[in-house]
Amino acid sequence: MEDNTDFIIGIQFTRLGKLYNFKANEDRDLAINDHVLVETSRGLQLGRVAQMITPPEGDHSYANLKPIIRKATEDDVRAQAEWLEKEEETIELARKALRENRIKNVKIIDVEYGYSGESLNVLVSSLSDEKINIHPIREALIRQFHGASINVRQVGPRDVAKIFGGIGACGLNERCCSQFLNEFTSISIRMAKEQEISLTPEEITGMCGRLRCCLIYEYDQYVEGRKGLPKKSKWVETPEGVGRVSLVLPLKGTVMVDIPDVGFKEFTGEQVTVTQRPAPREEAPRRSSGYQPPAPADKPGEEEPTDNRRSNRSSSQNRGGNRPPRGRGDGNQPGGARDGQNRRPRRNPDQRRRKDSSEGQTG
């Protein structure tokens, strides 16, 4: 019986490259890692079979796919390997062409030869993260590589990190994008907040300078786990009393609740119910012990000063109780004598007698 269902295969043109789907109804004996020849917008290309897809009945989403041309032969694979060996030399020639034409802030990342060397795909990156004017680059490369169809494409920092490879920001021997990620998905800071990950740049930034791709790995599980759990800092009713949620554990489906007079307890989402904040408890008045300290006893013979005496004493203190004697103050205070300076000299007794006698004769 003839099989009328479409036989869909996913093809990769580079290692860990994006998957492109094609029909292979005429070659149903294909297997994973087989090479096929297909026609793309860049011309004829040799790709590797990476996936088999069997569309469900009634699914017409694969109806407009292109068919493969044929299964690749050993000569096709051998010729493709020869062109791959020339890529390193081609990169150096492309960089030389950019230097000779004084094209700055552009870096040649990688080159890819098409089937039988008919096309050359050049991947470039901007050093300033700005959009590159591709036309002068393409013209410079056309003068360098005659007879090849030149296609220049700008890639972002994530693609650059994927091509170069290396150690991941988490310490992994090889980055995730260089191991198993076929394409990049959108990553947002909300994913880190949902998983309660530290928002410091060192914790959430990858080697490419962008948010880490691993932030999306468990994001869906955290979103699903939080659906039946109260939010942090909410007051909830528990089997052991009313408390406040201090920690949410979405992967376990539980919350940690701080219950007054009980402490921290862990409950599942079915055991807690969101409630209002309880009214503050009134403190009971303190009971008096009945002890009264004795009054200080007066000394014998000491009379309590009257109001007049108190007022006279306070007025005398205000008038001069705190001021030093005039002419005898400290040298550091105004009016005080310092080391005998500005002090009035004392008279000799003999001079005083002579003055008195002279005044008596005159009288």
Q: What are the C-alpha distances in Å from 350 to residues 146, 237, 357?
A: 131, 107, 11
**pLDDT in the model for residue 14:** 81
State the Rg of the chain over Cα. Answer: 47
Question: Per-domain residue ranges for the chain?
Answer: 8-72, 82-155, 161-221, 235-274
| pTM for this entry | 0.63
Residue closest to 91 by CA, chosen among 117, 115, 118, 109: 109
**pLDDT in the model for residue 329:** 47
Joined together, the tokens standing for residue 304 give 């309590």
Query: Read out DSSP for 9-76?
Result: EEEESSTTPPPEEEE-TT-TT--TT-EEEEEETTEEEEEEEEEEE-PPTT--TTTTPPBP-EE--HHH
Q: Are 242 and 276 spatial neighbours (Cβ–Cβ below 8 Å)?
A: no
Residue 108 phi, psi (nearest 5): -80, 120
22 burial via Cβ count (<10 Å: 0-12, 13-18, 19+): buried
**pLDDT in the model for residue 302:** 52
What residue spans of 259-348 are helical by DSSP H?
Answer: 307-316
What residue spans of the chain are helical by DSSP H?
Answer: 74-85, 87-100, 134-144, 157-164, 176-179, 189-194, 201-204, 219-225, 307-316, 349-362
Residue closest to 47 by CA, chosen among 4, 14, 70: 14
**pLDDT in the model for residue 49:** 92
The DSSP call for residue 1 is -
Q: What is the pLDDT along the chain (363 residues), one digit of tens a residue?
A: 455 678 889 998 887 788 899 998 888 889 999 999 998 887 788 999 988 887 777 677 777 889 999 999 999 989 888 888 888 889 998 888 888 888 888 999 999 888 878 788 899 998 887 888 888 888 888 888 877 788 899 999 999 999 988 999 888 899 999 888 888 999 999 999 999 999 999 899 999 999 999 999 999 999 999 998 999 999 999 999 999 999 999 999 999 999 998 899 999 999 999 999 888 766 555 555 555 556 665 555 555 555 555 545 545 455 545 555 554 444 444 444 444 455 555 656 565 555 555 555 544
Q: Starting at the edge strand that comes first in sequence, how are the strands of the sheet with 149-154 ordered?
A: 106-113, 119-126, 149-154
The DSSP call for residue 289 is -
**pLDDT in the model for residue 270:** 92
Q: What angle, rounded to 10 degrees, do the helices at 74-85 and 87-100 form? A: 40
Distance of CA 209 to the CA centre of its chain: 11
Provide the residue type at 245 as one letter.
Answer: V
Q: Say which CATH class 82-155 falls into.
A: alpha beta
